[in-house]
Amino acid sequence: MPFLGRRLFLLMGAALALATAGALRPAPAQASNVILEWTAPGDDSTYGRAMEYDLRWSLRENQFPNRFYSARRIVTNLPQTPGSVERAVVSDVPEGSAIYFALRTRDERGNWSRLSNVAVTYAVTDVADGGIALDFSLPSDNPAHELTQFTLSMPRRGAATVDAMDVSGRRVRRIVRGDMAAGRHTIAWDLRDDTGALARPGVYFVRAQVEGLNFVRRVVVLK
């Protein structure tokens, strides 16, 4: 498949429960991040809203379809309205390696779609404007006791939103929202929710939304 620029497009207009998935078209992305993009399906054709995505990647050419569930799962948002553009970012993939992706979608009755065709690309280094590539780092510390921090790298000025969410996708804390200058920014979460109370121990996801992309990082909160 040909490279089509700096984003990896998964054109999944037919990724419905019990339907054949559409074609996947890959491309390399910035730094060692691969950006995935596809079209949200409906629950029934273009009606209703699908319930869940299962998006996975592997370095093994023969991973899909028979070993789909042993591949690494990519955290995604819940499906949006049909026809919406969906995006996910896979970070820290091995540079120069071939990477394989596949996607399934679940409807409200628990039925899963057929597996999409397999997309393949290579992660390559691509230095952005000013030598800074758009990125949202892994958390430090993790697991976290009192505080966890991230580095948000902005190649240019733009709007950014960073939220902490629980495993159901409910927002726990709005950490950042506003216009940010180009450069590297330290983003800290003090493990408190929007009311100021300490978050309960467990698994959370911190999502950065920048330039229409979602970066999602998993954080384990301890007592």
Using one digit for the tens of pLDDT, what is the confidence trace for 82-130?
888 777 777 666 766 778 888 888 888 888 888 877 877 765 544 444 5
Whole-number Å distance between alpha carbons of 28 and 42: 28
> Is CATH 3.20.20.105 what the domain over 8-122 is classified as, yes or no?
no
What element of type H or E holds 86?
Answer: strand 85-90
> 44-53, 89-98, 189-198 — which is least confidently predicted?
89-98
Q: How would DSSP label each residue in 106-161?
A: E-TTSPBPPPPPPEEEE------GGG---EEPPPBSSSBSS-EEEEEEESS-EEEE
Domains of the chain by residue range? 8-122, 130-221
The dihedral formed by the CA atoms of 24, 153, 158 and 88, expressed in degrees to the nearest 10: 20
CATH class of 130-221: mainly beta
- More confidently predicted of 48 and 195: 195
CA-angle at 189, arms to 188 and 192, nearest 5°:
155
> Which strand (E) or helix (H) includes residue 165?
strand 158-166
CA distances (Å), origin 69, targets 54, 102, 210? 9, 11, 30
- For residue 71, pLDDT over 90 is answered with yes
Q: How far apart are CA 132 and CA 136, in angstroms?
A: 12
Q: What is the pTM of this model?
A: 0.50
For residue 57, CA distances in Å to 36, 99, 118, 148, 190 come to 11, 7, 10, 27, 32
pLDDT of residue 221: 94
Residues 150 and 160: beta-carbon distance below 8 Å: no
Q: Is the backbone peptide bond immediately before 143 cis, with ω within 30 degrees of 0? A: yes
Q: pLDDT digit string (tens) for 166-188?
A: 988 899 999 988 888 888 888 88
Which is nearest to 215 in space by CA: 139, 130, 155?
Answer: 139
Mean residue pLDDT across the chain: 76
- Residue 200's contacts (CB-CB under 8 Å, 6 or more residues apart) are 221
Same fold, 8-122 and 130-221: yes
